[in-house]
């Protein structure tokens, strides 16, 4: 891989490699300004261009972003129900994305959404689905909302609350 990884991506990569190889959770050596913040974080793993794991938090659940990255990197590599746990033999083929989310804000209707700029949360009662912005194969706000409904088990006719958020995406 050309160039140096951004420190948040490097932390995700080091976490997955340490956890998968040795069952150990690394301690971050030095916290960058982003890592000191409190925010929701998603860690996405890709292998040969295909999604291999993606788990995150849409609101902060830990002390800081570094701890969110560590927890979500481990979950993405071992607990994503769509995939078997990552094995040591796969580690060299993985690529990492880390998305740091802004706080979700309610929107009145879909005219306030943009699938390239905003991620979306669709909520109905206790059911909630989230989709990050600017994802390959998601070509409209309607696609985003449909996918969120499916993820959350919210039927098409069910009324929903919509929220939007932005991300800082690190690769």
Q: Record the pTM.
A: 0.90
Report pLDDT for 1. 44
One domain, residues 59 and 11: yes
Query: Does an H or E element contain 145, and which?
Result: helix 141-152
Q: 132: domain range?
A: 105-170
Quick one: which of 32, 104, 24, 23 has its CA closest to 66? 32
Residues 47 and 92: their CA atoms lie apart, in Å, by 9
Residue 146's CATH number: 3.30.1490.150
One domain, residues 79 and 142: no
Report pLDDT for 78. 97
Confidence grade of residue 105 (pLDDT, cut at 50, 70, 90): very high
Residue 23's CATH number: 3.30.700.20
In the chain, the number of structural domains is 2
One domain, residues 95 and 146: no
Neighbour tally for 12: CB within 10 Å? 28
One domain, residues 94 and 14: yes
Any domain includes 90: yes
Give 48-99 pLDDT, tens digit per residue: 999 999 999 989 999 999 999 999 999 999 999 999 999 999 999 999 999 9
């Amino acid at each position: 891989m050309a160039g140096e990884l951004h420190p948040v991506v490097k932390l995700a990569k080091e976490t997955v490699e340490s956890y998968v190889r040795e069952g150990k959770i690394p301690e971050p050596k030095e916290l960058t300004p982003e890592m000191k913040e409190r925010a929701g974080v998603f860690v996405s793993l890709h292998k040969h261009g295909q999604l291999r794991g993606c788990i995150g938090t849409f609101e902060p659940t830990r002390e800081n972003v570094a701890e969110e990255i560590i927890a979500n990197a481990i979950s993405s590599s071992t607990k994503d129900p769509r995939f078997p746990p990552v094995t040591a033999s796969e580690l060299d083929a993985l690529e990492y994305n880390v998305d740091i989310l802004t706080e979700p804000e309610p929107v009145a209707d879909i005219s306030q959404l943009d699938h390239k700029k905003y991620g979306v949360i669709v909520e109905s009662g206790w059911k909630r689905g989230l989709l990050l912005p600017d994802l390959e194969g998601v070509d409209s706000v309607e696609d985003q909302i449909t996918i969120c409904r499916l993820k959350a088990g919210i039927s098409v006719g069910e009324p929903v609350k919509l929220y939007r958020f932005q991300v800082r995406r690190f690769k």
